[in-house]
Amino acid sequence: MRFARLLLCLAVWALCGSAKPTERKERVVREAPLSAREHDDAQSFDYDHDAFLGADEAKSFDQLTPEESKERLGKIVGKIDADGDGFVTVEELKAWIKFAQKRWIYEDVERQWKGHDLNEDGLVSWEEYKNATYGYILDDPDPDDGFNYKQMMVRDERRFKMADKDGDLAATKEEFTAFLHPEEYDYMKDIVVQETMEDIDKNGDGFIDLEEYIGDMYSQDGDADEPEWVKTEREQFVEFRDKNRDGKMDKEETKDWILPSDYDHAEAEARHLVYESDQDKDGKLTREEIVDKSDLFVGSQATDFGEALVRHDEF
């Protein structure tokens, strides 16, 4: 997968350029829901299973016997207990839920890691990444497709250096994850905003005005009438995006737009799971407390929900 990320970038650029005039481009980064199921413990614990394991992994537990399910749950507890003190806190549970929900990100990183850590030293240097991703393409000063690969490389290098916390130009797996998925890391949010503004700011003045904002989502392409959603977006820009009413969005206004402060569903679910399972009410969970409430955390072939509800009400 030497060119996996490059091909992905090119596909996204091509898609954006060929989008239909009435198709809306989504820039806002939002947390995906923890589950598509309704969160109602009086009916089932399916939402909690999806939240705790991720929907795909939750389905795999449904094929296990209760004994197998509890055994696997016990092993997971060891992974959640990050500091190894024998207790699972709300913060540790929250971190696990976020990991379970975004497992695909880590799988993507693993795939790309193998194609970029060329000397297998446990690090991906900028030179390794540049050579593996761009390689001979950069030797052609005038590519046939007219695409500016060097501009993309400069942008990648800037992002790589921001992800590289210790500045040694060699990324650990965590730093490489921040490079590939910057929207997932607080310290990378400024680069997400900067790259978004560069994409939209066509006149290069360092701001996003109303027409640039609309133009990023919608191309009139000769149509006299705008779709209703475009008119709504114009109103949104004037009323909410441009907070200081100067006719354009600066960096902070753009950040508020694309990286809104949403309700933290992972923390809410972590607190819920701790509350329901914490038998001695010390604010943290032991392995035994979690396994005793296995019906809440995971499913199995023989889950008797009526019996589980009785146990649920007892605590």
The answer to whether the CB of 3 falls within 8 A of the CB of 133 is: yes
In this prediction the pTM is: 0.75
Q: What is the mean pLDDT of the chain?
A: 86
For residue 279, the Cα-to-chain-centroid distance in whole angstroms is: 33
Confidence of residue 1 (pLDDT cuts 50, 70, 90): very low
What tokens does 90 get?
A: 């709300």
Note the pLDDT of residue 143. Answer: 59
Q: What are the two backbone dihedrals, phi and then psi, of residue 283, each rounded to the nearest 5 degrees? A: 85, 5
The answer to whether the CB of 70 falls within 8 A of the CB of 294 is: yes
Note the pLDDT of residue 142. Answer: 63
- Does position 224 have pLDDT exceeding 80, yes or no? no
Q: Which of 24-38, 155-169, 173-187, 268-282 has the lowest mean pLDDT?
A: 24-38
Note the pLDDT of residue 127. Answer: 94
Note the pLDDT of residue 280. Answer: 97
Give me the torsion for CA of 289, 293, 297, 300, rounded to 10°.
130
Ramachandran sector of residue 135 (left: φ over 0; alpha: ψ -120 to 50; beta: rest): left
- Does position 190 have pLDDT exceeding 80, yes or no? yes
Note the pLDDT of residue 31. Answer: 82
User: What is the Rg, in whole angstroms, of the alpha carbon atoms belonging to the chain?
Assistant: 24
How far is 103 from 237, CA to CA, in rounded Å?
A: 35
313: Cβ contacts below 8 Å, ≥ 6 apart: none
Confidence of residue 257 (pLDDT cuts 50, 70, 90): very high
At which residue do the structure tokens 């990023």 appear?
216
Section 228-234 average pLDDT: 93
Section 281-308 average pLDDT: 84
- Does position 111 have pLDDT exceeding 90, yes or no? yes
Note the pLDDT of residue 219. Answer: 83
Beta bridge partners of 285: 88
Note the pLDDT of residue 30. Answer: 83
Note the pLDDT of residue 92. Answer: 98
Q: In the chain, pLDDT over 70 holds for what percent of residues?
A: 83
Confidence of residue 118 (pLDDT cuts 50, 70, 90): confident
The answer to whether the CB of 169 falls within 8 A of the CB of 124 is: no
Note the pLDDT of residue 9. Answer: 47
Q: Which of 53-62, 133-142, 248-257 has the lowest mean pLDDT?
A: 133-142
SS3 readout for 94-135: HHHHHHHHCHHHHHHHHHHHHHHCCCCCCCEEHHHHHHHHCH
- Does position 13 have pLDDT exceeding 50, yes or no? no
How far is 103 from 50, CA to CA, in rounded Å?
A: 12
- Does position 292 have pLDDT exceeding 70, yes or no? yes
- Does position 15 have pLDDT exceeding 80, yes or no? no
